[in-house]
Structure 1
Amino acid sequence: MPLTTLLDALFPRGHAITVNDSVLTGTATTDDGEVTVIGTTDKIEVGVDHALVLADTVLASTAAHPQRPIVMLVDTAGQRLARRDELLGINGYFAHLAQTLDLARRRGARLVTLVYGESVSGGFLSFGLMADHIHALPDAQVWVMDLRAMARVTKQPLEKLQALSLTSPVFAPGVENYVAMGAVQSLWDGDLARHLLEALRAPADGDHRAALGAERGGRTLAARVATAVSQGNA
């Protein structure tokens, strides 16, 4: 879905969102009031400069309106693999962005993510994955690591991982598999403004992704193992 169409569908009451170097920042109006909007477009590879702009917007929103919700719109091909960004310590910039979102949450802001394009690796982990609830459009693409890269990292044959991906969502890219694992709470279709309102009104009562993954059959052991560890039985 084109970005302008998406923004009009999410915020029919109006929005003031600018796009600079494929980074979205601004505000929008919902039936429940104003929200801060941050995000990415054009399948951008998120670098240190982008992370700073996103973090600055979050901090400004938290300082001026501590309890104003923050809506994150995600379309990223991952983190920028450039020498300059690596030498500057891109991991530290991403950690700073994640910390600003954690601060916003602790100050009372609701955090909602909508993946409308791609969401890959560090470019997604550093802000979109920090939300209280993560949702996606049906045609969105979500993955953390390509199977070829996973094969190099795990030292497992690509053919073995491809076979595992046929039966286990953990090894398979695609938004449906991330719904099955509980990482994506739901897919939005139809009235996007209504979906957004429901997400903003839903209680933020902890991280239930492992439990959702168990219910949906995508992650059968995560919740059980986490419970055992927390109870000292592991």
Structure 2
Amino acid sequence: MSGIRTPRPPSPSFGAAWFEALVGTAADALVNAPTGTSAGPSTGTSPGISGGVPAGRRADLPGSMRVGSVGLDGQDALLIAVVADPAARLPRARGGEVGLEEGWALADVLAGAVARDQGRSLPRPIVLVVDVPSQAYGYVEELVGLHQALAAAVAAAARARMAGHPLVALITGKAVSGAFLAFGLQADRIVLLDHEDVTVQVMSRPATARITRRSPAELDRIAELVPATAHDGASFAALGAVHSTVRAENPAAPTPADTAAVLTALAEAAADARAGIGGLSSRMSSPAARQQRAATREVRERIAAAWRP
């Protein structure tokens, strides 16, 4: 790994804080194991840190992965997060990025959940706690095949949806670029925390400014006219993909009231996904999408009409 520049230290993780707040609210003390391994006691059966081991940390997964259980309206759900790991083997994946190891591990955990719930009349909901600044850009990642790892995570999420698992993403902080595509954007329903540090875009705001050679102030003016170019959570929600938003009193250190409000929103989103239109199509039929994405809807309808014999 010599010659690879070590990235700057990771910023505090909203995702880690929310995982610790939510984990342990379920009755199930065991979580699914990746395919080919046996399920063991989860370190995430109680919030916070126990014995120096982070909640949800599993020895068979990368140090950036957290897996546990969360109780949603009386039903246990699988809870997954990707967090910063300063000791990660690959330097480009130390700040919460979704890299080679994370992509394959996500695919393995999701496949394990589908296998474990085979035969259940109601497969467990799966909650993805999203705070991911980017995919892990790096020479090693590109050489080995980061695209394959992220595609495996996307495919596993799609299979989980098709197997009847309500898949709900909770955006707690950053949801940027290929990391969000692989971890979160494939969910049946998206719940968004409403606070100023939420970022949802194809690239970060500073990167967008550098690429477009515009100042942040210019980007803000453009975003007022074209919500799809904005980086804030409210603008993303206006496009129709967000099922519900939750205002937290302290998003960096959730209070019991914050946790209760998010649990209610997650349970409602999972129930709606199970009872209503599953998959991603609901994002184009929501009231916000009908208003903000009218042109996109019309183009899709015309293409569909032209495509049909």
Query: How many corresponding residue pairs?
Result: 231
Using structure 1 for the length normalisation, give the TM-score.
0.86
How far apart, CA to CA, are the structure 2 residues paired with 1:41 and 1:229?
Answer: 40
Deviation, structure 1 residue 73: 0.5
Give the CA RMSD over aligned residues. 2.7
For structure 1, which segment, 30-39 or 92-101, has the greater mean C-alpha deviation from structure 2 after superposition?
A: 30-39
Question: 2:131 matched to which residue of 1?
Answer: 75
Question: 1:64 matched to which residue of 2?
Answer: 116
- Is the 8 Å Cα contact of residues 177 and 218 (structure 1) preserved in structure 2? no
- Is the 8 Å Cα contact of residues 147 and 162 (structure 1) preserved in structure 2? no
How far apart, CA to CA, are the structure 1 residues paired with 2:172 and 2:269?
Answer: 15
How far apart, CA to CA, are the structure 1 residues paired with 2:148 and 2:75?
Answer: 33
Counterpart of 2:295 in structure 1: which amino acid?
Answer: L
Given the alignment of the two structures, is residue 231 of structure 1 paired with residue 305 of structure 2, yes or no?
Answer: yes
Question: 1:200 matched to which residue of 2?
Answer: 270
Deviation, structure 1 residue 185: 2.3
Question: 1:8 matched to which residue of 2?
Answer: 21
Distance 1:81 1:6, change over 3 A: closer
For structure 1, which segment, 88-97 or 28-37, has the greater mean C-alpha deviation from structure 2 after superposition?
A: 28-37
SS at match of 1:49: helix
Question: 1:174 matched to which residue of 2?
Answer: 232
Distance 1:220 1:158, change over 3 A: farther
Question: 1:214 matched to which residue of 2?
Answer: 289
How far apart, CA to CA, are the structure 2 residues paired with 1:229 and 1:79?
Answer: 32
- Is the 8 Å Cα contact of residues 214 and 222 (structure 1) preserved in structure 2? no
Using structure 2 for the length normalisation, give the TM-score.
0.66
The structure whose Rg is larger is 2
User: Percent identity at matched positions?
Assistant: 27
What pairs up with 1:20-169 in 2 under 5 angstroms? 21-42=63-84, 44-66=96-118, 67-139=123-195, 140-146=198-204, 149-150=207-208, 158=214, 163-169=221-227
How far apart, CA to CA, are the structure 1 residues paired with 2:161 and 2:113?
Answer: 12
Deviation, structure 1 residue 28: 2.6
For structure 1, which segment, 128-137 or 219-228, has the greater mean C-alpha deviation from structure 2 after superposition?
A: 219-228
Counterpart of 2:109 in structure 1: which amino acid?
Answer: T
Given the alignment of the two structures, is residue 18 of structure 1 paired with residue 18 of structure 2, yes or no?
Answer: no
